[in-house]
Copies of this chain bind each other. A is one copy, B any other.
Amino acid sequence: MERVGCFQFVAEPYLMDCRGRVTMPMVGNYLMHAASGHAGARGFGYSEMTERHTAWVLSRLAIEMKAYPKAYDRIKLYTWIDEVGRLFTSRCFELMDEEGNTYGYARSIWAAIDMQSRRPTLLDIEALSPYIDPRPCPIEKPGKIQPVEERTEGVPYAIKYSDLDINGHFNSVKYIEHLLDLFDIEQFMRQEIGRLEIAYMAEGKPGMPLALHKEEIASGHYGMAICSEGKALCRAAVTWR
């Protein structure tokens, strides 16, 4: 089995945003599809993890886009494992057009949790390591994100059916959708997001009262957070250009 996986998509016109471009949450869905497919084909996918009563949990994600695919563009998405540690593994992505031009890169950090206790479990370093590939992913690694929740008024939000994933928790991509929806539609018409980074810190569950926070830290650079009763479930940083 090759170390680098390649997945192909067509940017469907009925999924485009008002700019006629793929949305950042849609990019997130493409990444999840590729991560799931790549892991599954190599014996450490959703089914294999479930058999061992474990599940992959996305811990951090950074996406940098130079250009966004438009309707009918054919997208090639490459994914590979970058690093494997005792508790975390790092997976990289490159999105390309048909001619081999890069739309963008992404980096993700994953942990495996025990499905019962929801606590991290040790990774099988020996089984995962043969898939590590040195392919370059020239974007900054996801790092520490400045907290903004204590300095800003949050927008209240109640978790809904469409927000939940197969484990009954807030879906990772839906967090991104709700955070980006804090920006005015006009901002998406004038500018585009160069980099999005998100750190998943705690699981969101039905019934939790949420607050969505946003603060402009520097020109075009925003700190964001989703909190429940003062505790951050996720923090994000968004850079516009």
Contacts and interface: CB of A to CB of B under 8 A. Distances in A.
Contacts of A185: 159-161, 164, 206
A33 interface: yes
Contact of A161 (B20, B46, B173, B180): B180
A166 B36 contact: no
Interface in A19-39: 20, 23, 25, 29, 32-33, 36
Contacts of A161: 17-18, 23, 180-181, 183, 185, 188
Contacts of A47: 72
A177 interface: yes
A115 interface: no
A36 B17 contact: no
A71 interface: yes
Contacts of A46: 13-14, 71
A33 B20 CA distance: 16
B181 A13 contact: no
A172 to B, nearest CB: 8
A186 B167 CA distance: 14
Contacts of A168: 18
A13 B166 contact: yes
Interface in A86-140: none
A177 B33 CA distance: 21
Interface string A187-213: 010000000000000000010000000
Contacts of A167: 18
A165 interface: yes
Interface in A34-72: 36, 46-47, 71-72
Given A18-B161, A23-B161, A185-B206, 17 more contacts: A12-B36, A13-B36, A14-B32, A14-B33, A14-B46, A14-B166, A14-B171, A14-B173, A17-B162, A17-B166, A18-B168, A20-B166, A23-B162, A25-B162, A47-B72, A161-B185, A161-B188
6 contacts: A12-B32, A12-B33, A16-B166, A18-B166, A20-B166, A159-B185
